[in-house]
Amino acid sequence: MTARLRDALRATAEDVPTYPVYERALATARRDRLRRAGASAAALLLLALAGVVVPLTRTPGRDPAAAANAALPDHIALPPIGTLHVTDRPRLGPASVIFDGPAPRLHRWNDVNVVAVVDADSDRYRIMRIGGESLAGVSVHLSPDGRYVARPDGVQDDPGVEVIDLVTGRTQRLTSPVDRSVWSTPVGWSADGGSLVVSDDVPVAFEGATYSTVLSAVTLGGERWTRLAAGAQEARFGSTVAAAPGRLAYQYGRTVAVTDLAGRELSSFALPDETWLAGKGAWRPDGTNLTLSARRADSEWTLRQVDPASGRDVGPLRLPSVSGVVAIRLLGWAPDGSALVAAYQPDPLAPDLPLEEQTDLPTSDQRVRTVRVLALTPGATAPRTVLTAPDQVTAVDVADQVVRSGRVRDAQPPGGVGGRFWLWTGLVTMLVTVAVLYVSRRRIALWRDDRRVRRARRPGG
């Protein structure tokens, strides 16, 4: 090889770009580690999500027979922050009590209200959000066996009601077939729980003017709607509905009507002044007589029984009167003959209503501070409190099976925070951790490389 050729080869070699073997090896190692770290983080996130979601989706609904020991809790509390919804898993199963009111945890922004639901035989709580006004026992109703909750669906363009199955978590919408209806509200259940009584508001002239109310009975599956009656909205048509096997009693204005489930009116009678159909439990246990609530001038409330065909008084009930309350609403009858009533405690700071508004039964208005459930036992000298509620819980409904059982249990309402709080806290924590690791991936890779180099340079490394 001549010197000229050697110089030419050297010059050519110098012009060839060098391959950074060490640097490229480090970069390749970093990419591999980052890919492995990313795959591991994704796998951990998926496993965490699976750990949350899979048990929830695979948890079976509670057997309705599990509520055989249904009992009334002796007190209720506001649901914890992050309480699971009624459609979340694990399912709640049949309920004993639902309640709501203007309390902070039961009233949200954008006119969203919350109805709390209590398990039939334990202190598990769930919540149900409703747009607009919601009143347990007035516009939101617990079925006789505690399995279903009926509520307005809040859709004005296509009115109907929703029925939520607390065992399966499914929500069924029952669309109203009433012509020109602008709003549907559940007002009660049949005695066997197979049908729901619904009222529809229908404009008489044009929307926004005068309305009438149409009362219907709809089967639980929505297969059949039966028109029961219609009347003026001003008379608060169907304001109170009570059910006995095969029969319904409802109030409108100062009149009580009795019909069968096919819509045939069996009887009607006028109510005396300061007297109302007592509530959903107005039928006596044997189905023979109806119960009315009467208010005296000193705000003392009593119950009396009448003949459903004529409204004639058929004798005293020997039950203690209730004093110092805004109103009472009869929930049903216990095995010992006690009448369980929701008693609405007055708010001493509330203003008095105008005289024209004092003719309606004020079961839940601005004058109510809280609600209690009282047992009026035959022969007793005073009512016995069986359920207390916090202030600003102003409406309550109790499942018929719980009332009929006569059982009251020592309640231990949940405290702290609920399952949804921990679910979202865990998910947010994992997402933030993954995001921080991703943003810091280069620093982490350099730190790992420096650590590996330092270990290699140690004696015996």
Express each pLDDT in 316-364 by its tens digit.
899 999 999 999 999 999 999 999 999 999 988 876 655 445 445 555 5
pLDDT of residue 55: 41
DSSP 19: P
In this prediction, residue 59 carries a pLDDT of 42
Chain segment 4-13, per-residue pLDDT in tens: 767 666 766 5
pLDDT digits (tens, 9 = 90+) for 381-437: 999 999 999 999 999 999 999 999 999 999 999 988 877 766 666 677 778 777 777
Please report whether residue 457 resides in a domain: no
Q: Is residue 332 part of a domain?
A: yes
Whole-number pLDDT of residue 53: 45
> What mean pLDDT is predicted for residues 15-27?
56
Q: Are residues 447 and 365 in the same domain?
A: no
Q: Dump pLDDT digits (tens) for 278-320.
A: 999 999 999 999 999 999 877 799 999 999 999 999 988 999 9
- Residue 5 covered by a domain: no
Q: Which residues pair with 370 in a beta bridge?
A: 345
Cα(362)–Cα(344) distance, integer angstroms: 9
Residues contacting 299, CB < 8 A, separation 6+: 323, 324, 325, 326
* One domain, residues 84 and 175: yes
Contact between 49 and 391 under an 8 Å Cβ cutoff? The reply is: no
146 assigned to some structural domain: yes
> Do 310 and 342 sit in the same domain of this protein?
yes
Q: Please state the rounded mean pLDDT for residues 176-191.
A: 94
Same domain, 63 and 148: yes
Domain membership of residue 306 (yes or no) is yes
Q: What is the CATH number of the domain that holds 390?
A: 2.120.10.30
Q: Is the pLDDT of residue 451 over 80?
A: no
How high is the mean pLDDT of the chain?
A: 84
- Which pLDDT band holds residue 56 (cuts at 50, 70, 90)? very low
Per the structure, the complete domain to which residue 437 belongs is given by: 16-55+420-452
pTM: 0.81
Centre a 10 Å sphere on the Cβ of residue 369 and count the other Cβ atoms it contains: 17
Residue 54: pLDDT band (50, 70, 90) is very low
What is the chain's alpha carbon radius of gyration, rounded to the nearest angstrom? 33
User: Which string of DSSP letters, residue by residue, matches 371-385?
Assistant: EEEEEE-TT-SS-EE
The answer on 202 and 81 residing in a single domain is yes
Structure confidence at residue 422 (pLDDT): 67
Where residue 208 falls among pLDDT bands split at 50, 70, 90?
low
Same structural domain for residues 154 and 297? yes
Q: Please check whether residues 265 and 213 belong to one and the same domain.
A: yes
Q: Do 51 and 66 belong to one domain?
A: no
More confident site: 112 or 77: 77
CB 183 within 8 A of CB 152: yes
Q: What is the pLDDT at residue 152?
A: 93
pLDDT at site 356: 44
Least confident of 201-205, 213-217, 432-436: 432-436
Cis peptide before 90 (omega within 30 of 0): yes
Same domain, 304 and 448: no
Contacts of 205 (CB under 8 A, 6+ apart): none
Per the domain annotation, does 6 fall within a domain?
Answer: no
Q: Do 67 and 192 fall into the same domain?
A: yes
Reading the block at residue 80, the tokens are 């914890």
Query: What is the C-alpha to C-alpha distance for residues 24 and 3, in angstroms, rounded to an integer?
Result: 35
Residue 36: its pLDDT value, please?
64
Task: Write the DSSP symbol of residue 321.
Answer: P
For 93-107, 149-163, 370-384, which range has the lowest pLDDT when averaged over its residues?
Answer: 149-163
The count of residues in the chain is 461
The β-bridge partners of 249 are: 242, 258
Answer whether residue 461 is part of any domain: no
Same domain, 71 and 123: yes
> Which of 159-163, 193-197, 408-412, 435-439 is predicted with the least confidence, judged by mean pLDDT?
435-439
In this structure, the answer to whether residues 219 and 335 fall within a common structural domain is: yes
Please give the residue that has the higher pLDDT: either 84 or 454: 84
**CB atoms < 10 A from the CB of 189, how many?**
25
d(CA 50, CA 215): 47
In which order are the strands placed within the sheet that holds 241-244? 241-244, 247-252, 255-260, 265-270
Res 173 pLDDT > 60: yes
Answer yes or no: is 142 within a domain. yes
Q: What is the arithmetic mean of pLDDT over 222-246? A: 90
Number of domains in the chain: 2
- Long-range CB pairs of 249-254 (<8 Å, 24+ gap) are 249/277, 249/282, 249/283, 249/290, 249/308, 250/187, 250/188, 250/197, 250/215, 250/277, 251/276, 251/277, 252/213
Q: Which residue has the higher pLDDT, 26 or 151?
A: 151
What percent of the chain has pLDDT above 90?
60
Residue 131 has what pLDDT? 78
